[in-house]
Structure 1
């Protein structure tokens, strides 16, 4: 079944294939309420602030994680735009204030991927809801723009004073550049990732390149060949936003190629049936810690392909394929949830039932620039927004909601 949008574009009716439109919205709302209730609270004694506990049950430590909060902002924007009044601009304003206070009065930190994510969250909050700091957006976008370093091998680096140039920084950085009008830089970043970081065999995107520790002659760089779900997601998002800004055919081609690689090499089978009666293939989880967000990020940008890919050769098929992954993955997220106090708690692996964490065991630890999982991954804040992200994405598809105005 298809439906025609106001722009005249033929679109898949996702609500006919999985959860109904009403049910998809209700699931997303339940996810939002669960995360907000369990994790959000005022920052210390400071009025007008909100911050999130990075663990539930709450940890005795006072750690926080900047980029996890950026995605929390993005999700609050999703919720408020989909269900006006469910969150409210005041909540977002307080969270922005909490983030800045907790970050010692600054918008920036030493990690370019972190700054790109918060810049994207502020840009979306301002564009959709009129909430957020224009100065914060300019500062963060400026840091991304100024970090471009082709003479040093990049791309933009992972963090300041570093020679590791990776997809997790360049992907969201390119999306931010495209959305803030720096189109030429977005194009250059997409081209750099395609040239330097694409696996020629699988078509998936590598993690990054770093300065070699040794080697003869011109062997100056080592490729870090790890494959992460969220790297594929941010490349899809970067190529899409650059395509929207330029109409460049190569960006459309790359979207199709990366999507095909995801379908062939990255998805995992579940015991669930897909919309056509076969075994559903979904985005795999990556545990807790920072990895808790990886799957949700890929689902977010697959949904963006499904809703916002401009018309062109093969576009409808690409939108349909991307959307199918989103709705099947969201169904797995919902079916593997646990229920705690009548609210969902999401699994770190959407092929298995969620484990309800106890107030014991080791907590997530920040080691060598990354956050490693708690003993029970479901305890980490990152895992719960990832499930929420998938459900919001499916609800947007069911309601046929675009990130950007559609061109008639």
Structure 2
């Protein structure tokens, strides 16, 4: 449903009155409404027009045509395309989704398999969504093939978990376990294979034990089994997002309230610690890979907001935060002439923008359209 939020902008009007001894400005409050559906239309269409390479059938790395193919951002650009297609049923997005399959596969060595387990997980999640949106079996087949390869990343180093990279079995990362648990849980819910449910539980349990701080809600980036050290200084929004996303999926499967509580803890840690304290905007995690992190958090955070079992008080608090970030990005962090988003959602970008930064902002705009009308 379209969500519209109203707020007031101060419009300063100066009237000079000849009969007045002093010329005092008159300030009037003018109601301004953001139509989030229209904003999402503009941002998602702009993503395709500016970044989609029709010849190569994949997304360019910059709005100026730089290619520099990277596998994992293609998944998130596909996710936004699916968001827009599910909302509008516009053939522009359907054509892009179907062509993406051939182009990304070709640029990844004519396969969807990759040395990075997290990269495969992002793409498998997006392809499962693409299958559900289009009913094209090629996406289902590819997602399951990738999932089977992801399972080979599990080993007993550091007590278990999916490795980050095939040649680094000692590195166990949140980014390779949170998405894997989400994928396994969704496959189970859709196709009913009990083995997928067991994988989802096993992966989640490992991540919770080794990388989650239940007292603070922080999700640590990784543990190195060679040294036994857990990197507690790297806490990123996307790891918070996929952990809470996995918890939410397992809550759907089991009905156990503990999973919902875990999701809330991870969300609260993000809102309390991974923001700019001056303005309550999600922190700037840079360009390049980091630019995608906030958008990924927003995707799963929005699903938590929409869950019917979330209390009204928590839902209201989460909605206020999401709306504040979206309004700030649209009103302050967007170059309206180029329709480009900044990596810090309160500051406009330059004339050149990378795909990750643009996709992250587009995720937020699409997320706003999912919220119910008040």
Query: Shorter-chain TM-score: which interval?
Result: 0.7 to 0.9
Partner of 2:221: 207
Q: Deviations over 1:164-215 (max 9, x none)?
A: 10111101111000000112211222221111112366321110101234xx
Q: Does 1:58 align with 2:65?
A: yes
Give the alignment of 1:1-40 within 5 angstroms. Answer: 15-16=4-5, 23-40=35-52
TM-score by length of 1: 0.78
Q: Deviations over 1:39-95 (max 9, x none)?
A: 112245xxxxx1111022223xx4211000000111110000111116342221101
Q: Does 1:195 align with 2:209?
A: yes
Out of 42, 55, 80, the position equivalent to 1:75 is: 80
Instruction: Go from structure 1 to structure 2 and tell me whether the alpha carbon gap of 1:86 and 1:43 turns closer, same or farther (over 3 Å shift).
Output: closer
Instruction: Go from structure 1 to structure 2 and tell me whether the alpha carbon gap of 1:241 and 1:267 turns closer, same or farther (over 3 Å shift).
Output: same
Q: Does the 8 Å contact 1:284/1:349 carry over to 2?
A: yes
Q: Deviations over 1:121-162 (max 9, x none)?
A: 011111133245222011111122332223553310101021
Q: Any idea what SS the aligned residue of 1:30 has?
A: helix
Counterpart-to-counterpart distance in 2, 1:20 and 1:231 = 35
Counterpart-to-counterpart distance in 2, 1:254 and 1:338 = 33
Which has more radius of gyration? 2
- Structure 2 unaligned segments of length 5 or more: list them: 8-30, 189-195
Q: CA deviation at 1:282?
A: 2.5
Give the alignment of 1:150-165 within 5 angstroms. Answer: 150=156, 153-162=159-168, 163-165=170-172
Q: CA deviation at 1:322?
A: 2.7
Q: Deviations over 1:276-320 (max 9, x none)?
A: xxxxx222231111011001111111101011x242xx5333333
Out of 96, 103, 114, the position equivalent to 1:98 is: 103
Identify the structure with the greater helix proportion: 2
Q: Does 1:246 align with 2:254?
A: yes
Q: Does the 8 Å contact 1:270/1:351 carry over to 2?
A: no
Out of 326, 330, 334, the position equivalent to 1:330 is: 326
Q: Does the 8 Å contact 1:306/1:322 carry over to 2?
A: yes
Counterpart-to-counterpart distance in 2, 1:20 and 1:83 = 25
Q: CA deviation at 1:116?
A: 0.5
Counterpart-to-counterpart distance in 2, 1:21 and 1:65 = 37
Q: Does 1:143 align with 2:138?
A: no
Which deviates further from its counterpart, 246-255 or 113-122?
A: 246-255
Partner of 2:364: 390
Out of 298, 304, 315, the position equivalent to 1:319 is: 315
Q: Any idea what SS the aligned residue of 2:285 has?
A: coil
Instruction: Go from structure 1 to structure 2 and tell me whether the alpha carbon gap of 1:233 and 1:138 turns closer, same or farther (over 3 Å shift).
Output: same
Q: Does 1:186 align with 2:200?
A: yes
Instruction: Go from structure 1 to structure 2 and tell me whether the alpha carbon gap of 1:84 and 1:270 turns closer, same or farther (over 3 Å shift).
Output: farther
Q: Any idea what SS the aligned residue of 1:209 has?
A: strand
Partner of 2:113: 108
- Structure 1 unaligned segments of length 5 or more: list them: 6-12, 45-49, 214-220, 272-280, 358-378, 401-408
TM-score by length of 2: 0.84
Q: CA deviation at 1:21?
A: 9.0
Counterpart-to-counterpart distance in 1, 2:3 and 2:36 = 10
Q: Does the 8 Å contact 1:24/1:394 carry over to 2?
A: yes
Partner of 2:193: none
Instruction: Go from structure 1 to structure 2 and tell me whether the alpha carbon gap of 1:31 and 1:399 turns closer, same or farther (over 3 Å shift).
Output: farther
Partner of 2:230: 223
Q: Does 1:351 align with 2:358?
A: no
Q: Does the 8 Å contact 1:336/1:346 carry over to 2?
A: no
Write out the 4+ residue segments of structure 1 that deviate beyond 4 Å after TM superposition.
16-22
Q: Deviations over 1:297-352 (max 9, x none)?
A: 11111101011x242xx533333333332222111221234436x44110011122
Partner of 2:23: none
Q: Deviations over 1:365-391 (max 9, x none)?
A: xxxxxxxxxxxxxx2110000000011
Counterpart-to-counterpart distance in 2, 1:335 and 1:180 = 39
Partner of 2:291: 292
Partner of 1:10: none
